[in-house]
A and B are shown apart, each in its own frame.
Chain A
């Protein structure tokens, strides 16, 4: 599903550069990328998502070699293949939850499927927030809806960036289980990037960045 080889990245505006260990995640499997803050975890994740271009090395996601794609192709590839879960999900404040998720379907070139959206929210226990504005959601609710949005286009790869930072132990366990459950149910590979050591027990595959 995901293979990286000899990956290196250099920021264009400074001398900082990162060399990443090779990573591999099979289809439907999960992987924890662990390391201290500032070790380049988010940068690595954005390389996988095709937001950044590596200086050296190869990335293959879902049998597609990213370096072979143009900018436009990368945008389309990302929209249809990758789902992103952020530490704090941001929504379009002017739109309801349903409209936010519909817009993401539309941007990926898919048909707007309200039944699918309602089903996702149902599975994540936030069905009643379908027509709510993002500003009215609690932190837990918006995290669930953020996950629903990441899953709305049936991505083959789900990326999660520090989804548990700032949560207590109980919530951390809940979020980790939710992500793993949803990924497993939908046959999606999950790559979670975090400095949070509490997540280690939930994953069998792990890479440490330093």
Chain B
């Protein structure tokens, strides 16, 4: 009978008490795990998807919405902007802007967002093709790795797109006339690009041919726009232009404000908007972790109290064990093993529950797809959680154990 087996038997002997304490430990350990899992991966996700963009030019609206939509593909576009307004910023010799990436958004195919862009997209996000080639004309598509995996489409396969961002969108209808052919599949990058379908902006214009015709607007008849230069040479509407600066200087600092004041465009700094977002989520995360730490305290207190009570109940047992030759150190180990085991098991089951909960919520909330939160990942330092549980459990057991040792064998046995 070693310390662990005896601890296990003692725990099983009081199933209600053990279950309650384990639930409390599991709840606190689970909440801590959940909080860290979500917040670390959430911030990691946003950090990774920022790319080189230092300024987002889009239609006027909510700055945060513009950043969420154009960089993270989470929200709806703020509206359209005309190429005429953007043309100066597409010029490679612009004094402030080093590079730019035009985007046309708003449609989807097979549940993934369809992104109209140029061949600049690959170098901008440092993406490599796993197979095939980049689009060389309209209605050619490059699939993100996740899209390819889920749709099982191969090079040369065809698919049609839906108008609108949600399949259930009332305004959505299939662009049945025009189908895309897959020309390339991207290597996985762990960013939002894995879940996008990249096409030319001129394909986008062709898709919206009917609406343009009805609305009296011109639609695209010219050659496909593959590069930024092609785009600069034509007219039409896009959703946004992502820009990087030549350097950090007074000009670049004031550039956004100048655009906002002097043009019909909205210039948004992703860094500022993301920090604002972190402030909001950070408050929620710190509230969650405060509640979690309060729960940890309560769980340890409950563990301490029930062990204290158990030691009272086991006074005779302990006195007998001492009579039978058990050394004080042995009894100390046994008692601490009991609380450490309970705490560790509770914390571990809570951690497993946290991961399972994320896995369960993942499909309906789109945790992985939208926020890059993977249930099967450990957060950095997650192994410290069970270790802390073990140590805290041992400490919670220390005082009851010391009290058990102070019990006078003679007095206890004399009482009958």
Contacts and interface: CB of A to CB of B under 8 A. Distances in A.
Label chain B's interface by main secondary structure.
Answer: helix
Contacts of B314: 92-93
Given A90-B320, A102-B1, A78 B325 contact: yes
Given A52-B410, A94-B10, A86 B325 contact: no
Interface string B259-289: 0000000000000000000000000000000
A92 B338 CA distance: 14
A111 B214 CA distance: 95
A198 B9 CA distance: 41
A3 interface: no
A99 B1 contact: yes
B326 interface: yes
Given A94-B13, A99-B1, A107 B414 contact: no
Contacts of A109: 325
B215 to A, nearest CB: 80
A49 B327 contact: no
23 contacts: A46-B413, A75-B322, A75-B325, A75-B326, A78-B324, A79-B324, A86-B413, A86-B416, A87-B416, A88-B416, A91-B317, A93-B314, A93-B317, A94-B6, A95-B9, A102-B1, A103-B324, A104-B324, A107-B321, A107-B324, A108-B324, A108-B325, A109-B325
Contacts of A49: 323
Contacts of A79: 324-325
B409 A107 contact: no
Contact of A51 (B9, B321, B323): B323
A93 B12 CA distance: 11
In the A-B complex, the 8 residue pairs with the smallest Cβ-Cβ separation, listed nearest first, are: A79-B325, A94-B13, A90-B316, A107-B325, A94-B9, A94-B10, A107-B324, A42-B414
B317 A78 contact: no
Interface string B1-28: 1000010011011000000000000000
A103 B416 contact: no
A72 interface: yes
Residue of B6, B9, B409, B410 ringed by the most chain A CB atoms within 10 A:
B410
Nearest to A91: B317
Contacts of B317: 90-93
Contacts of A162: 416
Interface in A71-124: 72, 75-76, 78-80, 84, 86-88, 90-95, 99, 102-104, 106-109
Interface in B383-416: 409-410, 413-414, 416
Interface size class of A (residues with CB under 8 A): 20 to 34
Interface residues of B, number: 22
A35 to B, nearest CB: 15
A142 to B, nearest CB: 13
B376 to A, nearest CB: 38
Contacts of A107: 321, 324-326
B329 to A, nearest CB: 10
Contacts of B413: 42, 46, 51, 84, 86, 161
Given A90-B316, A92-B317, A84 B323 contact: yes
Contacts of A103: 1, 6, 321, 324
B327 A72 contact: yes
A43 interface: yes
A51 B409 contact: yes
A80 B324 CA distance: 8
Given A51-B410, A88-B416, A102-B1, A80 B325 contact: yes
B133 to A, nearest CB: 70
A99 B13 CA distance: 14
Residue of A43, A52, A104 ringed by the most chain B CB atoms within 10 A:
A104
Contacts of A75: 322, 325-327
Residue of A43, A46, A87 ringed by the most chain B CB atoms within 10 A:
A46
B13 A93 contact: yes
Contacts of A51: 323, 409-410, 413
B410 A94 contact: no
A174 to B, nearest CB: 20
Interface string A46-81: 100101100000000000000000001001101110
Contact of A94 (B12, B321, B323): B12
